[in-house]
Each structure stands twice: as C-alpha cells, then as structure tokens.
Amino acid sequence: MERRFWTFSGGDGPTRESRRESEGASPELFVDVHCHCLPGLDDGPEDQSGALALCEALAADRIATVVATPHQLGRYDGRCRAPQVRRAVAQLNRCLQEAHVPLTVVPGADVRLDERIVDLLQSDGILTVGDNGRYLMLELPHEIFVDPSVLMAALAQSGVGAVVTHPERHSFLARDPQHVRQWASCGVALQITAASFLGEFGWHSERAAWDFLHERLPVLVATDAHDTVHRPPRMTEAYNLLVHHLGGRAADILCVENPRRLLAGQDLLRLGDEAL
Ligand SMILES: [Fe+2]
C-alpha cells in the first residue's frame, strides 16, 4: 500500500527525533476523548466488572483521563440521556478509586447525526466533550453519506465545534478524503481511531487514516475502545507508529496535545501549520 507521510521538521529537530525512535517513544500520559467505557449503556461493557477491566486496559495504555462517550441518538435515541451518563461517570470514578486504578473519567457522548442536535444541546439532551459546551463528537451514519454541512454551520454559529468521529471508517469519506475540506470553515475537526493506523479496520480505513493527515483540518487520535478483546485501546502502539513515520512533534499534536485541548475547550492545532 502506498502511503504519503508528512515530512514534519518542526519542534525537536531530527537528532532528537532519531534518538526517540531508536529508544522507543515515551509520551506523556494521554487523554482519550472517545471511549465506550460506561457499563450497560450502549455497546460497550455489559457490567461494572467489564468496565473496570476496560479502564485498567486504558490505564495500562498510558491513558490518564478518558472521556466516556456512549452512543446518543441513532439507534440509542431516548437512551443514554445526559443526566444518566453523568451519574454513570460518577459511579465509575468511585469504582476506579476503590480499585486504585489511576484513571479519571469525564462525561461526553458519541452523537449520531440528527437534525435535532442544536435543540437537544440547549435542552441538555445530549453531551459535549467533557460537558464543557465547546466540542461535540459527531458520528455520521455508516450506511449512507448524509451531508452534515448544514448542522456543522448551525453548531458553529452557537459556538460549538463538531469533531467527526472515525471518518476513516466511513466508506464514502475513505474513498474521497478530500471531501472534508468543505467543512474547514465551520471549525470542524477529525478524530481518527488509533487502531485504524494499525490496520485493524482494513486497508481502506488504514490508508484513509493517513490520508486525512494531509487535510488542513485539525486531527486528533482516540481509541474508540469498547472492550478489552475485540476493540481494545491501542493508543501507545499508534503513537509509536506515528512517531516513527511523522516524528515526535506531529505525534504529540495528534495524540497528546489536541486531545488535551479538546477536553479543555481550547482551539486545536493543525499539522503543518508554520507557526508550530
Ligand atoms: Fe464510538
């Protein structure tokens, strides 16, 4: 498979990059902004012990903070309401403290595209990343492509940035990654799944994951983990691969800095910006 990689020369410089690659990358702790870790709410863990096992795997993957993002709307319409998610997050944090798992969970959601989203945000029906009102994780329908431009513009008008979850696993966008360019004016960001860089979702998604890095939209990496067997977190492996191909500074932007900024409600960085 042909890959086009960024040649990224900002930040630490080639000498330190080479040393980092040969020694094995040792990133700071990650923030994972997309994970289905709450028990019994969606297609994540069925119960508290499954949730605890997933959280232990997240901590072992060097993740210090995870945004719990159960599915909202779509086939989960009417379930996983915002107050229910907040309660589940508080309960899971108590469980983690008792089990001495070094992980903090904050509320969020993986929200399926829906014409009611702006209204539901105002009525506390759906959740933003970290419950901070700044970014919304937006999941497009998998079966067909529905143009989200109108919704993205409406969200931007109300001060909310859309983060399109796993565009590399959407067949229409994977075939035509350049399609996302039209969303840049709405402050849209792209969230790529860590395992996609490792080929876990097939070569179409793998190729698209790398291709999206060439677009002039902010990109960040998250696990979208659901369990410890079929959909485990693979952040550290993806980070190491990104360091190998792009260099440490770009990998840090994708896996460390942009996820932290997203959770803090700050502006995101774009790969290749000359100011970096
Ligand atoms: Fe998800």
Residue among 195, 187, 193 nearest 212 (CA):
193
Q: Residues 250-272: pLDDT tens digits? A: 999 999 999 999 999 999 999 97
Q: What is the pLDDT of residue 144?
A: 86
Size of the chain, expressed as the number of residues it contains: 276
Q: Is 10 exposed, middle or buried (0-12, 13-18, 19+ CB in 10 A)?
A: middle
**Mean per-residue pLDDT for 81-109?**
97
| Average of per-residue pLDDT across 5-17 | 41
The rounded distance, in Å, linking the Cα atoms of 180 and 27 is 29
Q: What's the 200 CA to ligand 1 centre distance in angstroms?
A: 15
- State the Cα–Cα distance between residues 196 and 149, nearest whole angstrom: 25
Specify whether domain 14-264 bears CATH 3.20.20.140. yes
Residue 189 backbone dihedrals phi, psi, to 5 degrees:
-120, 165
CA of 154 to the centre of ligand 1 (A): 23
Mind listing the pLDDT tens digit for each residue in 152-176?
Answer: 999 999 999 999 999 999 999 999 9
Gap from CA of 63 to ligand 1 centroid (Å):
17
For the chain, strand residue ranges (E) read 30-35, 63-68, 71-72, 104-107, 110-112, 135-139, 161-165, 189-193, 219-222
Q: Domain extents for the chain? A: 14-264
How far apart are the CA of 142 and the centre of ligand 1, in A?
A: 12
Model confidence, pTM = 0.90
Q: Ligand 1 centre from 110 Cα, in Å? A: 6
> What residues contact 252, with CB distance under 8 A and at least 6 apart?
11, 27
The Å distance, Cα 165 to ligand 1 centre, comes to 7
Q: Mapping DSSP to helix (H, G, I), strand (E, B) and coil, where does residue 72 land?
A: strand
